[in-house]
Structure 1
């Protein structure tokens, strides 16, 4: 049990060192990257919004996928598949850019998969 925790901790540190884990500051900066930019610059980076007015632009994303996950048990030190269960994953994002004179003055993200609308900086 202790060995498993140690391996998990080492893996977490390794991911952090390779840039797979973002700090709160990095997340905040990534999500505010369009603030102050022209809407046309945002569109060139992430595509056209699904709806738009003079005061806001809205991007929406939803994807549902279903996969078969094996149900396994440990027998004589070997994992044996006993059957399968279905797992449904729903990914969503709603990005609302508040606009003033064609510029983004505020960005608001909700959902669990917003990287497409808040890409990596750089």
Structure 2
């Protein structure tokens, strides 16, 4: 019987200990520290690239195209294959007005 009480007591303490967490995530100080670590790591990377004779540049990562929503189920995989193959055409003429240009500026004021 004593072993059973011990098991109930340990289970109750474990459950209550899990409920006593002081927040649902990292605090503001933790986030500030993580942001500073990321800035420091990027600064070291920039210095290493420049010391090696390289230049800063923008390199996109991930998919360059995307979609919102799903394809029509009746068409199966035909549409999914058509988009990356470049077989999708606009139903109407696309706008010809040029897009406004801009300039990318890094945190320290430098441009690529």
Larger helix fraction of residues: 2
Higher RCO, 1 or 2 (CA under 8 Å, sep at least 6)?
1
Pair in the same fold by TM > 0.5: no
User: Which structure has the greater CA radius of gyration?
Assistant: 2
Q: What is the TM-score with the length of structure 2 in the denominator? A: 0.24
- Give the TM-score of the pair, scaled to structure 1: 0.23
